[in-house]
A and B are shown apart, each in its own frame.
Chain A
Amino acid sequence: MKKICIALDYNPSAEKIAKTGYAYAKALGATTALVHVISDAVYYAMDYAPFMGYESPFNSTNFEVVEELRNGAEKFLKSTAEHLGTKAIATKVLDGETADAILDYAVENDIDLLVLGSHSHSALENVLMGNTAVKVVRHSKIPVLIVPTSK
């Protein structure tokens, strides 16, 4: 296992996930990448015609909100890397549906181990769309290290 990707939510549980994943990466002499997925912001910048009297202030040519979220997420990953005590960690903010974005990143970057939390930040995720971790495990072609993050 030479390339490890750690997927983090913006949530205090990220510390445990990052530390666990990085401990394995160090012990295995693997390179590490930290990723975070912005899954919802893009929906606010959809190019819909006004509906029900509502016209979104954001669209695909005016997505400051998305940019700001992206900058915030980038800072979050960078400070996580610093917290782990290293600058030799790649960071990447991804867009899209969380599980799909993580899986695509893993394929494109020849990752051989994914690390993620057992429960993500969304309280509604199990009700609405199923657990992200389960979805990643279902479709992954590489091993997935699930770090327990439930209370």
Chain B
Amino acid sequence: MAYSKILIAVDSSEFSMRAAKKGMELAYQLRAETALLYVIDTSRALGNVEAGLLPETALLVLKKEAQETLDGLATMYTGNGITKLMPEGHPTNDILSTAETWGADLIVMGTHGRTGLKQLLIGSVAAHVMRHARIPVMIVPSK
């Protein structure tokens, strides 16, 4: 079927919450197998040597942020189980590659993510994914 595996890409921004809720609602209605994807953006794990923060520590902080976001969303899901995926990399590439390896039929994501400035009308990650995905992509407006 064309919609038996739905991948919902999120991050910790308020912008992606609406997309996550919409995606879970859709997955529930379609009785689809569902995964929440949070790509841990390793380019953010820079640390701050002067402040005594090592890059490894910064990465741990990002992982914790990802885990908490996915756990919080998963408790809101009323369907049968939900997979949580947290690869490390860069959102632009790893949303597409995870969709392929997990075998998704549909990607759901917001127009904006954490790096998306509010004043930009569409985030660069969403623009890239909708242009290059080989499967349908549902883009949910963040407003």
Where the two chains meet, the residues of A that have a C-beta atom closer than 8 Å to any C-beta of B are 1, 20, 23-24, 27-28, 113, 118, 131, 133-134, 137-148
Contact = CB atoms under 8 A, between A and B. Distances in A.
A29 B33 CA distance: 19
A28 B135 CA distance: 19
A133 B130 CA distance: 9
A131 B139 CA distance: 15
Contacts of B121: 138-139
15 contacts: A23-B3, A27-B30, A118-B133, A133-B130, A134-B122, A134-B130, A137-B126, A137-B130, A138-B111, A140-B141, A143-B22, A143-B138, A145-B137, A146-B138, A147-B136
Query: Chain B, interface size: which category?
Result: 20 to 34
A140 B121 CA distance: 10
Contact of B2 (A23, A133, A134): A23
Interface of B: 1-3, 22, 26, 29-30, 111, 121-122, 126-127, 130-131, 133-141, 143
Contact of A144 (B30, B127, B131, B138): B138
A118 B130 contact: yes
A144 B139 contact: yes
Interface of B is mostly: loop
Q: Which 7 A-B pairs have the closest CB atoms?
A: A138-B121, A146-B130, A143-B140, A146-B137, A145-B138, A137-B139, A138-B122
Contacts of B1: 23
Nearest to A21: B136
B122 A137 contact: yes
**Interface SS majority for chain A:** mixed
A100 to B, nearest CB: 14
A1 B25 CA distance: 10
Nearest to A133: B130
Contacts of A146: 130, 133, 136-139
Contact of B131 (A28, A118, A140): A118
A142 B141 contact: yes
Contacts of B2: 20, 23-24
Nearest to B107: A146
B139 A143 contact: yes
B141 A20 contact: no
